[in-house]
Amino acid sequence: MGKRKSRRLALTARTADKYDLYQRAVQSPVEDIRFLARVYKTTRGRPAFHFREDFCGAGLLTATWIKRGPQYTAEGFDIDAKPLAWGRRHNFAPLGSAAARAVMHQRDVREPSDRRPDVRCAQNFSYCVFKTRGELMEYLGAVHRDLARDGVFVLDLYGGTESMEEVEESTRIEGGFTYIWDQHEYWPVTAETKCYIHFRFRDGSEMRRAFTYDWRLWTLAELKDALYDAGFPQVECYGEGTGSDGKSGNGVFRKTRRGENCDSFIAYLVGLK
Ligand SMILES: C[S@@+](CC[C@H](N)C(=O)[O-])C[C@H]1O[C@@H](n2cnc3c(N)ncnc32)[C@H](O)[C@@H]1O
């Protein structure tokens, strides 16, 4: 008998599923949920139970939150039916009856929750679809009004001079594909940016522009001011520590008052109601 061949088909642009690739390349749900739960617990001295994920797409964070246990409930909001349907099949159906603890809404993020969340988040810079300060304030005001007493709102942000450059960054992902983050356009007067995600496979095929982002790149200080103006009496920033290579992030986020001047960084802003 010859050597057994792997029955797993190699990924190609034709066989791959873009939502699956996105989750594997971009998201770290366990680490993200651990961080969100920690922020609430350390600031409020008790655990958070009801969670809301804005711009949830396929709802991977929502699914990860409810897996914490029977007391944990969640809501996800996204306007696009497609990722919501994909998430129902791939992220929630495998959870069986526990999936009923999550309610996924096909609605605008400015709409209120069914139940006021203890923790609410906007991840992967998705609020950058709001390009004017008026739209951003409408969203943040709705977030503030909707939170439970003692609720916290967490958004992530992308900063540093490199965030304003027209560059591409390729990352090899385990499982046989490459993730390409393409900062295609940046306009300094409006801070508008057009970014794409492409995927490349071992057979040379590519899935070009699998995802497109038409954003305004808000800066950390602008977002901090906007959170105060939306009614949050306290706003805290969490910055990432440096890895052993002295350059890249180490995935550990700690509170910082002034930050660190890096070419490119991810940070969290936390608004405490
Ligand atoms: C970058 S994806 C985020 C996916 C996932 N939350 C993550 O962290 O990776 C942005 C999502 O925001 C949704 N979206 C854009 N504008 C929205 C709005 N006004 N209300 C609700 N969802 C919106 C899009 O449909 C899309 O699924």
Please identify, among 171, 188, 214, the residue that sits at the C-terminal boundary of a domain: 214
Residues 263, 236, single domain; the answer is yes
Question: Is residue 13 situated within a structural domain?
Answer: no
Backbone angles phi, psi at 214, to 5 degrees: -115, 95
Q: What are phi and psi for residue 161, nearest 5 degrees?
A: -60, -30
Same domain, 82 and 141: yes
Residue range 126-156, pLDDT digits in tens: 999 999 999 999 999 999 999 999 999 999 9
Confidence at residue 1, expressed as pLDDT on a 0 to 100 scale:
43
Structure tokens at 246: 């002295």
Residue 64 lies inside a defined structural domain of this protein: yes
Distance 177 CA to ligand 1 centre (A): 24
CA distance 265 to 219: 11
3-state DSSP call for residue 254?
A: strand
On whether both 201 and 239 belong to a single domain, the answer is no
Same domain (yes/no): 174, 245: no
Same-domain check for residues 128 and 167? no
pLDDT of residue 2: 47
CATH of the domain at 103: 3.40.50.150
| 200 CA → ligand 1 middle, Å | 23
The pLDDT, as a whole number, for residue 8 is 59
76 and 56 both lie in a single domain:
yes
Q: Which of 36, 104, 125, 126 to mutate to test the pocket of ligand 1 (most atoms within 8 A of CB)?
A: 126
* CA 139 – ligand 1 centroid, Å: 13
In a domain, 5, yes or no: no
CB 125 within 8 A of CB 158: yes
46 is a domain residue: yes
Cα 243 → chain centroid: 21
**Residue 179 is part of which domain span?**
162-214
Nearest alpha carbon to residue 22 among 175, 226, 205: 175
- Same domain? 133 vs 257: yes
Within this chain, do residues 146 and 254 fall inside the same structural domain, yes or no? yes
| pLDDT tens digits, one per residue of 57-88 | 999 999 999 999 999 999 999 999 999 999 99
Same domain, 96 and 223: yes
102 and 205 both lie in a single domain: no
Is any atom of ligand 1 closer than 6 Å to the C-beta of 58?
no
Q: How would you classify the pairing of strands 152-159 and 119-122?
A: parallel
- 250 lies in the same domain as 138: yes
- Ligand 1 within 6 A of CB of 64: no
Low-confidence ranges of the chain (pLDDT < 70): 1-9
State which of 21, 30, 55 you would mutate to test the pocket of ligand 1, scoring each by most atoms of that ligand within 8 A of its C-beta. 55
Give the predicted TM-score (pTM) of the model: 0.95
Residue 169 has φ and ψ, to the nearest 5°, of -130, 125
**What pLDDT does residue 10 have?**
84
Q: CB count, 10 Å around CB of 16?
A: 20
Q: Is residue 251 part of a domain?
A: yes
Q: Cα–Cα distance between 116 and 113 in angstroms, integer?
A: 6
* Total domains present in the chain: 2
Does residue 43 sit in the same domain as residue 170? Answer: no
**Residue 178 structure tokens:** 């490459």
> Looking at residue 248, what is its pLDDT?
82
